[in-house]
Structure 1
Amino acid sequence: MNDHSLIIGLESRLLNAWPSFDYQTYDGWILRLADGYSKRANSATPFVPGATLDDELIDYMVARFVEANVRPTFRLNGVEAPDVDERLKLRGFKDIEATHVLTASISGEDCERDPEVVLEPQVSKRWVREAAGSYGGDKADDETLMKIVSRIRQKAAFATLSLDDRPVAWGLGVVERGYVGLYDIVVAPDLRGIGLGRRVVSSLMAWGCGEGAHTAYLQVREENEIARSLYEALGFGTAYRYTHRVMPGRSSSA
């Protein structure tokens, strides 16, 4: 669960698969900014085992977030020094949105794609508009989502599943060095719970298999028990867990 090489390997792929607009590095931490769209693209994450924080560094990084009008967020993946979480807690940073990074091995039987799931190598405005619209809330910002996914430099697949010519489920796969990351798996709100998301996930895993991936990975919030049970049924297990320490008093971005 705390294998630093595994964590850093997956975190590196995640960083490439979900690009931010600005990257800054501070003593083993990478601070990323993307206009506040998604915490993983707008947070400071440790990338060196034992990465430490002192008050001066916290203050400096907080100022960078504030300049960008982004809520100061530290994303703690277990690589950081043991006292970091307590230090942020004492500074008043709140612990929110624990998230599991799940992995699953891809075998030969996982390599058959669903013919009704259309996979496109490039993002389209329609994909972004429909996926963002089904997310709703803070993630309904299709313009920022387009800016993020347009920056992906790894091989990607944008999935759409339609029923009776109506697009009803979407997902993004990004393959890098033997792993396929699954992102933005979303189903139309009125059709959730009938297995459409599972079809998108399976098709993206099959696509990854064809691109040489031996393992799939994704992220799911700890509180989302429905999604976690779906992924467990597909063979996913927790590789590691991360949480967020956020500065109180500013509006949150999901």
Structure 2
Amino acid sequence: MSDPNLVLGLESRLINAWPSFDYQTYDGWMLRLAGGYTKRANSATPLVPGAKLDDALIDHMIEQFLQANIRPTFRLNGLQDPGTDEQLKERGFLEVEPTRVLLAPIADDCTPDSDVLLESEVSQRWVQGASHSYGGDKADDAMLIQIASRIRQKAAFATLHLDDRPVGWGLAVAERGYVGLYDIVVAPDLRGIGLGRRVVGSLISWGCREGAHRAYLQVRAENEIAGSLYSTLGFEVAYDYTHRIMPGGA
């Protein structure tokens, strides 16, 4: 079983590093809404050990999601009451996207890659490069820049250049001795040659300069390639979380 204090500490940093537009709190749960862009910013998450749900609370939060035209989603990080997952399952909520939160110590080398540009403010250029390389439901420039512009902690927006071409992107957010890594992505035609490792290394080096002693990130459990990369960089599983979503659209 994961340490509840570690989970809560990382969860609070995750919330600060990836802001939503609307926050609502209910009996140990936080419901976040951000226009449907990424599940972690559009879900109800327990933030108190043993947080419980009853049918009335579930119904109320479902209503809040639907009013925002967002599919009701519960993000279960292990802090919830042990019966919560089965409770949501019985109500028809489907399990999707099991995810791991990984943690690694930071070495003393604080020197970033000279080919990686690190900027303290988000730019339209960074947003376009990152979102277009992601593609799919994350290819939304307007929504990404809205979220990134709301970050109030120290941040670094990384762009890796190869022969003057931008080919890799990533975001780091430093808070209270930790640096979180987000939106690590490489141009689709150049994946598998170590460019992502260079982006990650530079963001960790930036975090080192900001006084961070640990780095954390999130990766889907099914993403074995990314998991293998992060393992070679010293990351280990801190805890797992999963999502329970209501079937159908919002």
Per the normalisation by structure 2, the TM-score is: 0.99
Partner of 1:88: 88
Give, as a single letter, the amino acid of the residue that structure 2 aligns with 1:214: H
Alignment of 1:117-156 (within 5 A): 117-156=116-155
Residue by residue, what CA displacement relative to the aligned partner does 1:178-228 show, whole Å, maximum 9, x if unpaired? 000000000000000000000000000000000000000000000000000
Partner of 1:163: 162
**SS state of the match for residue 218, structure 2?**
strand
CA RMSD of aligned residues (A): 0.7
Q: Distance in 2 between matches of 1:143 and 1:195?
A: 29
Partner of 2:229: 230
After TM superposition, give the deviation of residue 91 of structure 1 in Å.
0.1
After TM superposition, give the deviation of residue 54 of structure 1 in Å.
0.5
Runs of 4+ in structure 1 displaced over 6 angstroms? none
Q: Distance in 1 between matches of 2:23 and 2:155?
A: 22
**SS state of the match for residue 78, structure 2?**
coil
Partner of 1:250: 249
Partner of 1:53: 53
Q: Distance in 2 between matches of 1:185 and 1:203?
A: 11
After TM superposition, give the deviation of residue 164 of structure 1 in Å.
1.1
Give, as a single letter, the amino acid of the residue that structure 1 aligns with 2:227: R
After TM superposition, give the deviation of residue 107 of structure 1 in Å.
1.3
Q: Distance in 2 between matches of 1:81 and 1:93?
A: 17
Give, as a single letter, the amino acid of the residue that structure 1 aligns with 2:172: G
Q: Distance in 1 between matches of 2:33 and 2:40?
A: 9
Residue 192 of structure 2 corresponds to residue 185 of structure 1: no
Partner of 2:208: 209
Q: Distance in 2 between matches of 1:250 and 1:193?
A: 35
Per the normalisation by structure 1, the TM-score is: 0.98
**SS state of the match for residue 153, structure 1?**
coil
**SS state of the match for residue 152, structure 2?**
coil
Residue by residue, what CA displacement relative to the aligned partner does 1:215-248 show, whole Å, maximum 9, x if unpaired? 0000000000000000000000000000000000
Q: Distance in 1 between matches of 2:203 and 2:11?
A: 20
Partner of 1:37: 37
**SS state of the match for residue 108, structure 1?**
coil
Give, as a single letter, the amino acid of the residue that structure 2 aligns with 1:38: T
Partner of 1:17: 17
Q: Distance in 2 between matches of 1:70 and 1:162?
A: 36
After TM superposition, give the deviation of residue 21 of structure 1 in Å.
0.2
After TM superposition, give the deviation of residue 2 of structure 1 in Å.
1.6
Q: Distance in 1 between matches of 2:76 and 2:139?
A: 26
Give, as a single letter, the amino acid of the residue that structure 2 aligns with 1:104: A
Q: Distance in 1 between matches of 2:107 and 2:157?
A: 22
Q: Distance in 2 between matches of 1:187 and 1:53?
A: 40
Q: Distance in 2 between matches of 1:142 and 1:10?
A: 27
Give, as a single letter, the amino acid of the residue that structure 2 aligns with 1:35: G
Q: Structure 1: which 5+ runs fail to align?
A: none
Q: Distance in 2 between matches of 1:142 and 1:238?
A: 31
Partner of 1:100: 100
Partner of 1:172: 171
After TM superposition, give the deviation of residue 53 of structure 1 in Å.
0.3
Q: Structure 2: which 5+ runs fail to align?
A: none
